[in-house]
A and B are shown apart, each in its own frame.
Chain A
Amino acid sequence: NAGVTQTPKFQVLKTGQSMTLQCAQDMNHEYMSWYRQDPGMGLRLIHYSVGAGITDQGEVPNGYNVSRSTTEDFPLRLLSAAPSQTSVYFCASMTTKKYGYTFGSGTRLTVV
């Protein structure tokens, strides 16, 4: 099993550009989520999904879109990148049959 796979690992965007961060898991986990990590602020929830076709907003959703068409995939879309979106992004998945989250290796995004 690959676990949670995030791509790309690094990305530089210009202000106003759009892009999609990919996240895939092969563990048949129902629950998937996106976090951003900023210095001194821990990890903050952007969007999450409790199953295919169901998504909801987290703590910091503005400027991001998600969709969950399959159990495996949960892409995060930046609509019009801004310097404030410079951060490290983590995708995580969990099965409600257990307790713990499995994290991807993260994407370091820089918006210039």
Chain B
Amino acid sequence: AQTVTQSQPEMSVQEAETVTLSCTYDTSESDYYLFWYKQPPSRQMILVIRQEAYKQQNATENRFSVNFQKAAKSFSLKISDSQLGDAAMYFCAYRSTNFGNEKLTFGTGTRLTIIP
């Protein structure tokens, strides 16, 4: 079974600065997807960014980028130019590409606080 570990329960960053959230995972599969989800106080789960394991290039979405290290099974999220609206819980998640096993496995989350 796959596991996802987020070792930072809480992080804080000064507005406009850069912060990196860590995520490691364990799997025996060679092809899979990795995701970062944001959960603001509204409770809605919002997809921030995704990475396909067979792609070596790190995914980017505007101010959000990942550092995907497949051999190390590491998938960190970098938020540049942090904004007050980035304050939220962030969850790392894993999904297999195997049919019938498309469930998401989540980490325990990192609460990000933005300091004005």
Q: Is A25's CB within 8 Å of the partner chain B?
A: no
Q: Is B47's CB within 8 Å of the partner chain A?
A: yes
Residues of B1-40 at the interface with A, using a CB-CB cut-off of 8 Å, are: 4, 9, 33, 35
A58 CA to B33 CA, complexed, in Å: 19
Q: Pick from B9, B100, B103, B107 the residue with the most CB of A within 10 Å.
A: B103
A103 CA to B105 CA, complexed, in Å: 14
Q: Please state if A50 and B100 are interface contacts (CB–CB under 8 Å).
A: yes
Expressed in whole angstroms, the minimum distance between the Cβ of A14 and any Cβ of chain B is 24
**B-chain residues with CB within 8 Å of residue A42 when the two chains form the complex:** 4, 91, 106-109
Residues of B87-103 at the interface with A, using a CB-CB cut-off of 8 Å, are: 91, 95, 99-100, 102-103
Q: Is B45's CB within 8 Å of the partner chain A?
A: yes
Residues of B72-93 at the interface with A, using a CB-CB cut-off of 8 Å, are: 91
**B-chain residues with CB within 8 Å of residue A106 when the two chains form the complex:** 43-45
A7 CA to B3 CA, complexed, in Å: 30
**A-chain residues with CB within 8 Å of residue B33 when the two chains form the complex:** 99
Residues of B within 8 A of A (CB): 4, 9, 33, 35, 42-45, 47, 50, 52, 91, 95, 99-100, 102-109
